Amino acid sequence: MSLAFTSGESVSEYLDRYERNELLRFLTCGSVDDGKSTLIGRLLHDTGRLYDDHLKALEVESRVHGTQGGALDLALVVDGLKAEREQGITIDVAWRYFATARRSFIIADCPGHEQYTRNMATGASHCQLAITLIDARNGVSTQTRRHAFIASLLGIRHVVAAVNKMDLVAWGEGRFREIEREFLDYCARLGIADPIAVPVSALTGENIVTRGSHTPWYSGAPVLELLESVAVDRPAADASFRMPVQYVIRPTLEFRGFAGTIASGSVKAGDRVRILPSGRETRVRRIARSHEDGGDLTIAVAPQSVVLTFEDEVDCSRGDVVSCLGGSGDALVAQTFEADLVWMDESMLTAGQTFLLKVGTRVTPARIVRVRHRVDVDTLEPQVTDTLALNDIGRVEFETEQAIAFDPYRRIHGTGSIILIDRLTNATAAAGMIRTGDASDAHARKAHWQTEAAPTIHPPVGQSLVTAKVRAERWRQKPIAILLYGSSGSGKTMRAFDLERGLWQQGHAVVVLDGQMLRAGLSRDLSFTDEERSENLRRASEMARILLDQGLIVILSMVAPSPEARALASDLIGAERVVMIDCGESDSPDAGALLRMVSAKIR
Amino acid sequence: MQLTHLDELEAEAIHILRESAAGFERPVLMYSIGKDSTVLLHLAIKAFWPAKPPFPFLHIDTTWKFREMISFRDETMKRLGLDLRVHINQEGVRQGVSPITHGSKVHTDVMKTQGLRQALEAGKFDAAIGGARRDEEKSRAKERIFSFRDRNHRWDPKNQRPELWNLFNTRVNEGESIRVFPLSNWTELDIWLYIHRQKLSVVPLYFAKERPIVERDGMLIMRDDERFPLRAGERIEQRRVRFRTLGCYPLSGAIESDADTLEKVIEEMLVARTSERQGRLIDHDQSGSMEEKKREGYF
C-alpha cells in the first residue's frame, strides 16, 4: 500500500523506515488535454498528500470550475490557479512532492504545449524516469514522439507511457496493445533502455495507485508500483570517480580541503587521483567530516557533497576536476568539442558567437565554431543549418578559451553537461550534452568512429528470417566489399562502374556506393576536410556492412585519404569481407584484372 | 552504498550553498529562527566545515517576534560564534507600525519586506540565501533555486532562467541580486525528519506546553507581552498548545496539541494526513457517472 504511515506502526518505527527511503525524481509530460494534471492530482490524492483544507477548497472549486459535473476534479489540484495562468507561468516546469512507504518522489511537471522542448529538457535533466501521457483515443502522437526523443537525448532510461482515458475506449485491450506496440517500437529506435506502457484512467484511478477492475487483461504493474520499484539510476558507484571542485576550504594554514559534489563513482581515503586539466597526481588523505557529524568518511559515493584533503600540496582550485587514476579511464581534456544543444534564448545562435560556458564548476568563455545541424524532433532527421532558434535542438562545435576537463554526457552526466550564459544579459541561453572531445586530432577522430558508431538509434528488434546461407545460395555468391580509394581523378569511379557491369553480366547481385553519390543525400551535411571525408567513409562502411549482410556484393568508391580511417573501415566491415584497392598506385589492377580477381574471391 | 532521500536532499543543499559562496561577491544567509532556518543553518555549517560559513547571517527583526525566538536566536549564534546582523526598520518603528494598530498587511510590508530591502541594499548583498520550500504554497512550485531579482528586488515569473542539472547560473549585473533556496526540494516532513535524524534543537514553541492564550477570530493567539491589548470579553486562558510555524506572535495561530516531543510532533502531522484519506468514495462515484455519461452519448 501507499500509505505514508501505516497503522499499528510506532512513530519511531516509521521514522526509521522513512529516513531510509530512496528518492526518485520523475517528470510528467503531455498536454493538459491528455489528463496529465488529473494523473498528478490522482497520485497526490491517493497517496494522502492533500490536506483537509486543500480538499475542502477543491470540493468548492470542483463545483464552480470543475469539468466533472461537480464531482471532485483532481486536475484542479495542479492547474487550478487562475492567477498563475494570468501571470503566464503555466508554461513553466512545476515541482511537486509526495512520498509513500517505499520511496520519496519529486515530480517535475512539464507542460506540453508551449516551450515544450525547454521545459522537457529542464525537467529531464533532473529526472531518472519520464511519464508521457497518451490519450487512448488519439494514440501515439507527434508530441509523444517528441517527448520520447527529448527523454532519450537527456539520457533517461525509463520512459513510461500512461495510456490514459481507457474508459473512453471501452477499456479495449486491442486499442491499448496497438498503442503499446507503436510506442515501444519508437523507443527502441531511440535506444531507450526501458520503455513501459500502462493502460490507465486518471479520472477513475484505474491502474494509477491500485490495479483496477476494468483491465483484467493487463498483467503489469500500476503506475505507482512502477515508480516504487523501478531501479533508480544513480551515477553508478563502480563508474569512474569524478568530482568538480566547488570551493577550497582553508580555515588554517594546516588544512586545505577541496569541497565538491561527487559527479560519478566513489572515492576512498588513500585513492590515487589526478587533478584535471593540469594532470597532476596525488593521493586522497581524508574525506573530512566533523566529529559531531560522525567523523571522517572512509568512502563516499555520488551524489554526496564532500571535502577531500590530499597528501601533496598540489595546485587545485574551483573548476578543476578530481578524477580517478586508471580504471575505465580519465576524463577528456580539450579546448574543442562537440555537443548536442537545446537552444533556449529568444535571440538566434550563430557561429562565431561567444558565451560563458559552465561545465561542472568551471566557467570559461567559449566560441561557437560551427553549427553542424538541427534535428527535426518530429522526424529525427538532421537538417543542415548554421543557426539555432528558440527551442531548437542541434549539434554544435565549441572552442573554449582554456582547456577543460569533461566526459561524454552518455558516460557521465555530471561532467558531460553544459550551460551557456549570455555575456550581456546573463541569461541561461542553452543547455548541452557533450558528445566527443577534440575533433581536430587523430585520437578524437578515432573516438568519433567508436563513439558515434555506437547506435543512439537501435536496429529494429527481431531477426531476419532469411539467413545469410539462403541468400548466398540464391545469388550464388559470397558477399564481399571492394573499396576503391584514391584522390579525385585517380579513376576509381570509372573502375567501380566497369567492375559492376562485369559482375552483373556474370549474373551477380552487386551495388556501387560512390562518395559523391552519398554526398548528394546521406552525407549532405559533410564538408571536404579530412575529418569529414573520414566520416563519409564511415557512413559508407556502415551501409556496406548492411548490404553485405543482405548477400550483395558492394563496390565502394571513396577518396579515403587517411590510412587510419581505412583501417577503421576495414574493422567496421570485417577485414575478411573487404578488399582494398589503391587506384592512385601506378601498378593498381586494370578493369580486366580487377574483374578476374574479384570473380575468384566471390565463388 | 545506498543513499537515502534525506542524504540526497542534504547533498543537494550543500552543493547549492557552496555554489552561492563561490558564485557571488557578497552573499548573505537569511536566518529567521524557525525550523527551516535551523536546518539551513546546520547545512551551512556542514558545507564549509572546518571553516565557518564565508557569509554573514541576517535576521530581519519586526520587533514582534516571540521572546523565546529571540533568546533562541541569540544563544544559537553565540554558541556557534557566527556573524549575525539584526536589522530593524527604524523608520517603521518611528512611525509606530505594529500588527495591532496597522494590521498584518501593513506591518508585514513595512517591517519585513521593506526592512529586508533596506538591509540588502545597505549590505550591498548580491545573493540572499533563504529557507523557503517549494511545497509551502502553489506559487512557489515554479520558482527557481537561484531566483533572479532585478534592481527593484522584483521577481518576474515570466522571465526566469532555465535551471538544468546542478549547473546554476549565478551571474548578475550591478544592483541585481539572486534569492537562493537550498531547501527548495524539501517538504515539511523532510525538515522534521532531518531535525530528528541530526538531533537539531529547535525553538521550544514547536512543542506543546501550557501557554497564555487569547482566542480571537477563531485563532489561538499567545499573549507574549503587554503590547497585546485585550478586547472586551476576551480573557487569557492557560491552554496546551504548540506552533506549526513561527513569526510575529500576534499573527501566529497556535494549535491545541499534546505533542511535547519531536516524535509526537511528527506523529501528529502523519495522523492528520491519514485521516484526510478516509471516507473518499470518489473513485466509484466517478467511474459510475462516467459510465452513465458514455451511455448518454458522451463522446
Question: How close B110 gets to chain A, by Cα (Å)?
Answer: 25
d(CA A329, CA A241): 9
d(CA A125, CA A259): 23
Model confidence pLDDT, tens digit, residues A228-259: 999 886 655 558 999 999 999 999 999 999 99
Model confidence pLDDT, tens digit, residues A131-161: 999 999 999 988 889 889 999 999 999 999 9
Chain A residues within an 8 Å CB radius of B285: 71
SS3 A155: coil
Residue A287's pLDDT band, with cuts at 50, 70 and 90, is very high
Instruction: Determine the straight-line distance between the first and last CA of chain B, rounded to whole angstroms.
Output: 52
Question: What's residue B291's pLDDT?
Answer: 28
Question: What's residue A245's pLDDT?
Answer: 98
CB within 8 Å: A414 and B276: no
Cα three-residue angle B282-B287-A105, rounded to 5 degrees: 60
Tally Cβ neighbours within 10 Å of residue A547.
Answer: 18
Task: Residue window 543-602, chain A: list those with CB within 8 Å of chain B.
Answer: none
Which run of H or of E encompasses B6?
Answer: helix B5-23
CB within 8 Å: B158 and A251: no
In this prediction, what percent of chain B has a pLDDT beyond 90? 78
- Name B167's bridge partners: B164
Phi/psi of residue A513, nearest 5 degrees = -110, 110
Of A49, A71, A246, the CB nearest to B285: A71
d(CA A128, CA B293): 38
| Highest mean pLDDT (candidates A8-17, A42-51, A372-381, B195-204) | B195-204
Look up cell 468548492; give the residue. Answer: A60
CB within 8 Å: B173 and A96: no
Sign of CA dihedral A100, A103, A106, A111: negative
Is the CB of residue A332 less than 8 Å from the CB of residue A438?
yes
Phi/psi of residue A29, nearest 5 degrees = -135, 160
Which of A266-280, A564-578, B239-253 is predicted with the least confidence, judged by mean pLDDT?
A: A564-578
Which of A105-109, A179-183, B9-13, B285-289 is predicted with the least confidence, judged by mean pLDDT?
A: B285-289
In this prediction, what percent of chain A has a pLDDT beyond 90? 51
Chain A residues within an 8 Å CB radius of B161: 427-428
Residue A37's pLDDT band, with cuts at 50, 70 and 90, is confident
> Torsion angle, CA of A42/A46/A51/A52, rounded to 10 degrees?
100
Options 3.40.50.300, 3.20.19.10, 3.20.20.410, 1.10.3130.10; CATH for A11-229 is 3.40.50.300
d(CA A427, CA A440): 30
Model confidence pLDDT, tens digit, residues B39-82: 999 999 999 999 999 999 999 999 999 999 999 999 999 999 99
d(CA B57, CA B81): 11
Question: How close B89 gets to chain A, by Cα (Å)?
Answer: 31
d(CA A175, CA A192): 23
Q: Which of A363, A286, A271, A355 is nearest to A317 (CA)?
A: A363
Q: Could you tell me how far CA B62 lies from the centroid of its own chain?
A: 15
Residue A119: burial class (beta carbons within 10 Å; 0-12, 13-18, 19+) = buried
Instruction: Determine the straight-line distance between the first and last CA of chain A, rounded to whole angstroms.
Output: 67
CB within 8 Å: A106 and B135: no
Is the CB of residue A244 less than 8 Å from the CB of residue A415?
yes
List the CATH code of the domain at A332-437. 2.40.30.10
Q: Which of A487, A545, A488 is nearest to A513 (CA)?
A: A545
Model confidence pLDDT, tens digit, residues B55-65: 999 999 999 99
Question: What's residue B292's pLDDT?
Answer: 31
Question: How close B192 gets to chain A, by Cα (Å)?
Answer: 10
Of A305, A318, A358, the CB nearest to B15: A305
d(CA A87, CA A491): 68
Model confidence pLDDT, tens digit, residues A389-425: 999 999 999 999 999 999 999 999 999 999 999 999 9
Q: Which of A304, A178, A595, A334 is nearest to B46 (CA)?
A: A304
Question: What's residue A440's pLDDT?
Answer: 44
Question: What's residue B298's pLDDT?
Answer: 28
DSSP B111: I
- Cell digits of residue A361: 564548476
Is the CB of residue A94 less than 8 Å from the CB of residue B142?
yes
Model confidence pLDDT, tens digit, residues A101-123: 889 999 999 876 656 788 899 99
Model confidence pLDDT, tens digit, residues A350-398: 999 999 999 999 999 999 999 999 998 878 888 999 999 999 999 999 9
d(CA B229, CA B91): 23
Of A14, A118, A301, the CB nearest to B1: A301
Model confidence pLDDT, tens digit, residues A180-211: 999 999 999 898 988 999 999 998 999 999 99
If you average pLDDT over every residue of chain B, what do you get?
Answer: 88
In this prediction, what percent of chain B has a pLDDT beyond 70? 90
Phi/psi of residue A409, nearest 5 degrees = -55, -40
Question: What's residue A377's pLDDT?
Answer: 82
Residue A74's pLDDT band, with cuts at 50, 70 and 90, is confident
* Superfamily name and number for A468-601: P-loop containing nucleotide triphosphate hydrolases (3.40.50.300)
Question: What's residue A507's pLDDT?
Answer: 87
Question: Residue B255 is which amino acid?
Answer: I
If you average pLDDT over every residue of chain A, what do you get?
Answer: 86
CB within 8 Å: A167 and B283: no
Residue A270's pLDDT band, with cuts at 50, 70 and 90, is very high
Question: What's residue B168's pLDDT?
Answer: 98
Is the CB of residue B7 less than 8 Å from the CB of residue A304?
yes
d(CA B5, CA A150): 26
Is the CB of residue A149 less than 8 Å from the CB of residue A391?
no
Given a cut of 80, is residue B248 above it in pLDDT? Answer: yes
Given a cut of 70, is residue B285 above it in pLDDT? Answer: no
For range B248-265, the mean pLDDT:
94
Q: Which residue has the higher pLDDT, A200 or A562?
A: A200
Question: How close B185 gets to chain A, by Cα (Å)?
Answer: 8
Phi/psi of residue A105, nearest 5 degrees = -125, 140
d(CA A146, CA A433): 17
CB within 8 Å: A23 and B10: no
Tally Cβ neighbours within 10 Å of residue A190.
Answer: 19
Residue B252's pLDDT band, with cuts at 50, 70 and 90, is very high
- Name A323's bridge partners: A242, A274
SS3 A414: helix
Residue A310: burial class (beta carbons within 10 Å; 0-12, 13-18, 19+) = buried
Residue A16's pLDDT band, with cuts at 50, 70 and 90, is confident
CB within 8 Å: A95 and B141: yes
CB within 8 Å: A97 and B50: no
Among chain A residues, the shortest Cα distance to B142 is held by A94
Domain regions of chain A by residue span: 11-229, 242-324, 332-437, 468-601
Question: How close A599 gets to chain B, by Cα (Å)?
Answer: 58
Of A94, A125, A204, the CB nearest to B142: A94
Tally Cβ neighbours within 10 Å of residue A507.
Answer: 9
Q: What is the β-pairing status of strands B84-87 and A305-310?
A: unpaired
Residue B122's pLDDT band, with cuts at 50, 70 and 90, is very high
Same CATH topology for A11-229 and A468-601? yes
E strand residue ranges, A9-140? 22-30, 94-99, 103-111, 129-135
CATH 2.40.30.10 fits A242-324, yes or no: yes
Contacts of A477 (CB under 8 A, 6+ apart): A508, A509, A551, A553, A602, A603
Is the CB of residue A381 less than 8 Å from the CB of residue A373?
no
Look up cell 539584526; give the residue. Answer: B86
